[in-house]
Structure 1
């Protein structure tokens, strides 16, 4: 039967978990590359100021692929496969193959090419997951749905980032490679990542069903069908973005550079600035890079745990206030990395990042979801992603010059600069985003009723 937007049934916690497990696998793949690609690139001969340009694959593919997949998935329907799940499956399959081949890269061009493949199909798999939540859940469960994705992201990211350290310290797999090679512990991590990526997404595909489109959605989707119709609709959607989306997009634009700069430089900064290592063949550098990955895993653990209480905080303070405070925690975590002299203090820095990451993965989408036309959620989620990838494209193209000429290739200064941008994002969020505390209070009341019924 066709379910209208106001008659979606509330899902059980097990159903929400099932539809979110796929994000565990997708994040496993993303965090493997974030924690290790800088290290792989430098092992293959890249300089610190080359790294931003080599990371261009992720934002550029996101800019192009996500709106297209959002548009296509809005218009897809199969009685068995549904609307979003075909994209989950295809993206996960090809991304997993790329993960297997990545650590066998013998040159920079090979690693960069495989990263392009991984990012294209990672985006194919990931983009419909945001729309999937809005498709399946009533408004009273939107907070819970996006936060469950945050929990899965935190769990997947924590394991993925820790794998090189785990393989080296628990199983004594070598973490040192000659110049031009990739350490064995990194290779094994990518193999395991391929397995988790594909199997987790397959689990969601097999255990979750989708509602067929309503008659209203079918009529809407027939307008502007075809390639040029799709381009026209994307342009129209950009020109007619809801006001709330414009403001949240501005917050996103200044939030994400802090994360990108951390992913570009944090692991190698720990290896060089905290541990005092020289290059990839230096055991001290290798130990520092592994420890940096381990602390990245810790922030993902914090994300998982903080996501358990984030809905209650959002229901009490409102989404925008909650998000602003979480961004400030992340900014403090990034800025304070440069003050660390004892390596174990990095865990405290990463606590702030974990709190921010839990909110970044859920609150902007929760603030946005009620302001989008239901028949175009996929395409609007893809357009929303512009404001994540555009700052990364700017950083990838221009930050190398800044590193060479202003920051003197100091990786820690780059991380601190990202923290400063996150402070600006927090201020913009608090001052400009519409206050939805009244709406949140209503949702909290509905959730309380549901929880009472389930006891």
Structure 2
């Protein structure tokens, strides 16, 4: 078995530079979409439902793109790069059109398009690092990728504030998106496309023959079919029963109708798995559905344990992304009216806060995390990072000075760096290379499901127990992030 060539720093740079632009797009989305929705007339309680588009598109897109990219080879364009480029073009178009919205429904639809496009580009980038690097470079490869994520997020987060500083209007008539947001989205679209194009033009992917030589194995279609055919329908029926139970709970307790979506997804997966098992038993060749269902049910134990950590980690992150703008505006700036200048000032300060935690993440990814990983291992390093995040969230309950909230973002930034680097470095060294794309896509399902859960359930919880008091969502985030650290203690395999 041959070994992949060792990548220089320039090679590591080129492999991950496209993520810089992708994260500019995500940062603009995360920091400004609640502001856009409220500007166009959304109520605070309706924000989670409007954000449903983002996790739902990731849930559907990432496993499909992962499966397809494992099997793609388009000559000189390669295996993963066709997906980078396609997603970048679509996301750029969405970022250019989004600020022109004057209807809430149109903005929600464009969020759906934007998030789907970003996921088309993002998912193959995770597998791309594993494709291109030898195992002893996985940690540094994902650290460099995380640094670009942090740097891109800083640029995307602070750019509206910079525009305001340069004299661009940060307020507008009711129902009109401010110029700072519009110009930032247009800048983000251009930056996203150019950075992804850089990676496409400066990297050469290994051919299928080279990959087989590196890994000493080839794809075994019959193995997936055999394992799928050996499954019973019991698990599928449990998924369907879970979906029915969720739907019945919504109807019985009068929860928000968006929660029906969660029940529908659970039941839908159960039905899909029944179809895949039946086809496998009939001897049909393994379809994309069969591969996704079979690989999901056959995840390695290490991946299952990390999946639980992801579930808790991303639940906390999504709570933060949805609620930080109304929290900071209301509690640190004393404004809850989205049309007021004071509210817009608070929303712009959230851009600075988000830029701070991403900047901390970029620095921590290249300094603190490698230092800790060499001494206490990747798993324990991740525990430390998650606990820093929990402390950062909890501090929002007591800090009311906008400047002091920058200290909160330090802990959140360390957690963010660890979440983006440690689990993927561990996985890339443990998963079979021939299925790295689909497994990375399935792993990101556990990034998406908690976001979907938060988007559909959090609004009902807050409306029932804490109406017009969004600050308590940060307590939820702190507790859930602490649970992620506790779950990480069950992961025993460490990589430096």
| TM-score of the pair, normalised by structure 1 | 0.92
CA drift of 1:416 comes to 2.2
Q: How does 1:299-378 map to 2 (within 5 A)?
A: 299-309=357-367, 310-378=369-437
| Kept in 1: contact 2:92–2:193 (CA 8 A) | yes
Deviations 1:419-440 (A, max 9, x none): 110001001102x10142xx53
1:220, distance to aligned residue in structure 2 (A) = 3.3
Contact 1:221 1:375 in 2 (8 A): no
Hey, what's the Cα distance between the residues in 1 that align with 2:436 and 2:359? 30
Asked if 1:62 is matched to 2:120, the reply is no
- Single out whichever of 266-275 and 219-228 deviates more from structure 2: 219-228
SS at 2:482's partner residue? Answer: helix
Does the 8 A contact of 1:42 with 1:280 survive in 2? yes
Structure-2 separation of matches of 1:386 and 1:337? 29
Separation (CA, whole Å) in 2 of partners of 1:125 and 1:223: 29
Task: Tell me how far 1:278 sits from its aligned partner.
Answer: 3.2
1:118 correspondence with 2:114: yes
Do residues 198 (structure 1) and 193 (structure 2) align?
yes
In the alignment, is residue 159 of structure 1 matched against residue 155 of structure 2? yes
Cα deviations across residues 173-200 of structure 1 (Å, max 9, x unaligned)?
A: 1111222110110001001000111000
* Aligned twin of 2:349: 291
CA deviation vs aligned residue, 1:356-376 (integer Å, no higher than 9, x gap): 001100101111122211110
- Deviation per residue, 1:222-267 (Å, 9 max, x gap): 9879996111111111121100000000011111111101100102
Deviates more, 1:171-180 or 1:418-427: 171-180
Question: Could you state the TM-score of these two structures normalised by the residue count of structure 2?
Answer: 0.85
Larger mean Cα displacement after TM superposition, 59-68 or 273-282: 273-282
- Structure 1 stretches of 4+ with a deviation exceeding 4 A read 215-219, 221-228
| Distance change (3 Å), C-alpha of 1:222 and 1:114 | farther
Match of 2:335 among 267, 270, 277: 277
Q: Is the 8 A contact 2:331 2:400 kept in 1?
A: no
Contact 1:43 / 1:181 at 8 angstroms: preserved in 2? yes
Please, which of 8, 13, 16 is the counterpart of residue 9 of structure 2? 13
Q: Output the CA distance in 2 between the equivalents of 1:217 and 1:395.
A: 40
In structure 2, the residue matched to 1:230 is 288
Bigger drift between 277-286 and 94-103 goes to 277-286
The answer as to 2:86 corresponding to 1:86 is no
1:380 corresponds to which of 439, 442, 445: 439
Instruction: Name the CA distance, whole Å, in 1 between partners of 2:173 and 2:321.
Output: 23
SS in 2 for 1:344: coil
Cα RMSD (Å):
1.6
2:324 aligned residue: 266
Please give the alpha-carbon distance, in whole angstroms, between the structure 1 residues aligned to 2:285 and 2:120: 18
Q: Is the 8 A contact 2:221 2:286 kept in 1?
A: no
1:96 aligns with 2:155: no
Structure 2: segments with no counterpart, 5+ residues: 226-283
CA–CA distance in 1 between the matches of 2:297 and 2:349? 46
Distance of 2:469 and 2:37 partners within structure 1: 17
CA shift in 2, pair 1:179/1:356, >3 Å: same
Q: Which runs of 5+ in 1 are unaligned?
A: 441-455
| Counterpart pick for 2:485 among 392, 409, 426 | 426
Partner Cα separation in structure 1 for residue 205 and residue 196 of structure 2: 15
Could you tell me how far 1:338 is from its partner in structure 2? 2.0
Cross-structure match for 1:22: 18
Superposed CA deviations along residues 99-134 of structure 1, whole A, max 9, x for unmatched, are 011111111100000011111111110000010010
